[in-house]
Structures are given as C-alpha cells and as structure tokens.
C-alpha cells in the first residue's frame, strides 16, 4: 500500500506540527484550513518551528527550504482528492469530524486512508460516517509534534490489517515510535493520565495539600517534569474537562467524572496558560498559585 501523498486538515497547534514532521520526512503534504488568514497563522507557526530548528542546528537552511517545497496550502477540501492518507486535526467535536470525513469520502479516491488525531472521541463513529470503515484509523500525536516521540496508532473493529500496518509503518517513517491501541476513549496515554489529573484536583478539593505542594510532591517525588496541576494549565483546563466528560460518558466510572472544582474553574473561564489563569496566574515571570 503506497503512502506518499499526505493531506492534513486543520493547521492549528497539532495540524501544523503534523504537516511539518511529514514534510521533514520527505512526504508530499497538502494542508487544508478554513480561511486564508488561518492558513497564514498556521504557516507562521511552521516557519517559527523550522527557523528554531535551523538556529539550534537540528536542520540545515537547505533542508528547511526543502521542507517548504513539499508543503502546499489550500482552503479547498478538493485539494485533498489525490492524497493517499488524510489526517484530520480539527476541533474536538464529533459532529465536525463526521461531517468532514463524510465529505472527504465523496471527494477522495477509494484507496485513500483517513486518520483522526482525536484525543478522546471514538474512531469507530467516524469510520461509520464513511463508506470505507476498513480504511479509517486513529493517529494520535503528542504536543509539540516535532519534539514528542510517541504516536498512538488506533484500530477499530473494522480497520483492515493492511491499512493498520501501512499507517504504523508511516508513523515510523516520520521518525516516531508508534504504539498500537484499540479504539477505546483515551487510548493508552490519556486513559492513564486523565484519572491522575482528576485525582490531583480531588486531592486539592479535599484540602490534602496546596496547589504548589501537590505539584512539588509529584515533581520531586516521582521525577516528573511538571506536577499534575501545572500540566492541567498547559493542556488547557477546558480541554481536561471536555476529555473527562467524554471518557465518563464512555466508561460511566467515577474515576473519569470531572470534579466540581474543575467545572467551577471552567465556568470562570480560567482555562490555564492560554487565558493567563488556571490553577496558577501565568502573567508574570513565574507562575503564582491562585486562591481556590
């Protein structure tokens, strides 16, 4: 099965990283965004990342130019019609993803493989929105995509062995270390990570320790690069909330249920670093824990 021409839908945080690593690995890439302005924002993000790679001597200037020669941008979905593999990295909403795949199903050739970068939604539901459920997989990258080594390659009960193996090999060709996972909400990493983050919030709610001390304990006690509450601020507290709701809906187990404090922080619009406030105030040089 040939995978040479790649389509990426969405050029936000994840889509721009996926386009960059695919072009770096010599694949021919077409990126689709909704508007010219969003294309420019995505292009600037890739440019910044590539320039940094040149500055730190991870990439030569000539290689950077080669990467640009392999990426094209379009606002038209039809620009993806000839792709061997289309990876979506659009908003985390089932309706939007199903609509996208159903439209692509009519536009792309019958051989095209569809992959979703979803963090928590069901790949099987997306596969069911197409006439090619055997050719739909999950391809879950981690942020920042050019840096993180892992990709979870997810199969549904309908994915063919040939398609799964080809996408697994494609992930290796990107220089990643893939792991195989079944289509269960959270796959491998989030299935373990989300209850951990929620438990840290529950611990805070019960008054066991302060925000700073919970983070310090997990950083120094386990050698983690950051504590769970700082990690929530990095991931986005709204995102943690949405993923936990989806996982609770899937498993109906208390460990995935969002704690009331998480809901209250989301209601206040304190989404973490991206809004300047979450468990910490990020406006100064150092994060300062906020009263809760």
Binding site for ligand NAD (CB under 6 A): 9-15, 32-34, 38, 89-92, 96, 100, 117-119, 140-141, 143
Q: Tell me the closest approach of the beta carbon of residue 65 to ligand NAD, in angstroms.
A: 25
Q: Are 195 and 204 in contact (CB under 8 A)?
A: no
What's the rounded Cα separation, in Å, for the pair 159 and 206? 44
| Nearer to ligand NAD among residue 77 and residue 209 (C-beta) | 77
* Catalytic-residue membership of 93: no
What's the rounded Cα separation, in Å, for the pair 147 and 245? 28
Tell me the residue nearest to ligand NAD as measured from the CB: 12
Catalytic residue among 119, 120, 171, 244: 119
In DSSP notation, 80-121 reads: GTT-SEEEE---S-HHHHHHHHHHHHHHS-TT-EEEE--SSS
| Sign of the dihedral through C-alpha 146, 147, 149, 150 | negative
Catalytic residue among 140, 171, 185, 244: 140
Cα 82 to Cα 28, 109, 113, 236: the distances in Å are 11, 7, 11, 35
Residue identified by tokens 């392999």 is: 70
* Catalytic-residue membership of 190: yes
Beta bridge partners of 74: 32
| Nearer to ligand NAD among residue 113 and residue 235 (C-beta) | 235
| Nearer to ligand NAD among residue 31 and residue 59 (C-beta) | 31
| Nearer to ligand NAD among residue 41 and residue 203 (C-beta) | 41
* Catalytic-residue membership of 169: no
- Buried b / exposed e over 90-121, threshold 16 CB at 10 Å, is bebeeeebbebbeebbebbeeebbbbbbbbbb
Tokens at 268, concatenated: 């206040």
Q: Tell me the closest approach of the beta carbon of residue 83 to ligand NAD, in angstroms.
A: 14
Q: Tell me the closest approach of the beta carbon of residue 9 to ligand NAD, in angstroms.
A: 5
| Nearer to ligand NAD among residue 13 and residue 81 (C-beta) | 13
Catalytic residue among 152, 171, 185, 244: 152
* Catalytic-residue membership of 4: no
CA neighbor of 152 nearest in space, from 198, 104, 126, 184 = 184
| Nearer to ligand NAD among residue 141 and residue 256 (C-beta) | 141
Q: What are phi and psi of 78, to 5 degrees?
A: -65, -20
Q: Tell me the closest approach of the beta carbon of residue 270 to ligand NAD, in angstroms.
A: 18
Q: Tell me the closest approach of the beta carbon of residue 183 to ligand NAD, in angstroms.
A: 15
Q: Tell me the closest approach of the beta carbon of residue 162 to ligand NAD, in angstroms.
A: 25
Catalytic residue among 120, 166, 185, 190: 190
Q: Which positions are catalytic?
A: 119, 140, 152, 190
């Amino acid at each position: 099965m040939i995978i040479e021409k790649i389509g990426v839908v969405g050029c936000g945080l994840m889509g721009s990283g996926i386009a960059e690593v695919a072009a770096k690995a010599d694949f021919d890439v077409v990126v689709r965004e909704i508007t010219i302005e969003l294309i420019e924002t995505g292009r600037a993000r890739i440019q910044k990342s590539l320039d940094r790679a040149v500055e730190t001597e991870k990439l030569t200037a000539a290689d950077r130019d080669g990467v640009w020669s392999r990426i094209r941008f379009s606002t038209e979905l039809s620009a993806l019609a000839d792709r061997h593999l289309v990876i979506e990295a659009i908003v985390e909403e089932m309706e939007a993803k199903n609509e996208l795949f159903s439209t692509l199903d009519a536009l792309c050739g019958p051989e095209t493989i569809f992959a979703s970068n979803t963090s928590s939604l069901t790949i099987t539901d997306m596969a069911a929105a197409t006439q090619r459920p055997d050719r739909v997989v999950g391809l879950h990258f981690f942020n920042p995509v050019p840096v993180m080594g892992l990709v979870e390659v997810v199969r549904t009960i309908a994915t063919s062995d040939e398609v799964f193996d080809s996408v697994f090999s494609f992930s290796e060709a990107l220089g990643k270390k893939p792991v195989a996972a079944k289509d269960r909400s959270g796959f491998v990493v989030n299935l373990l990570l989300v209850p951990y983050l929620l438990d840290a919030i529950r611990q805070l709610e019960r008054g066991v320790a302060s925000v700073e001390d919970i983070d310090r304990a997990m950083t120094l006690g386990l050698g983690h690069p950051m504590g769970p509450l700082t990690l929530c601020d990095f991931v986005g507290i709204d995102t943690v909330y949405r993923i936990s709701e989806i996982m609770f809906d899937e498993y109906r187990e208390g460990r995935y249920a969002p704690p009331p404090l998480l809901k209250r922080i989301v209601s206040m619009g304190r989404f973490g670093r991206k809004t300047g406030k979450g468990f910490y105030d990020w406006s100064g040089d150092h994060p300062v824990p906020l009263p809760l």
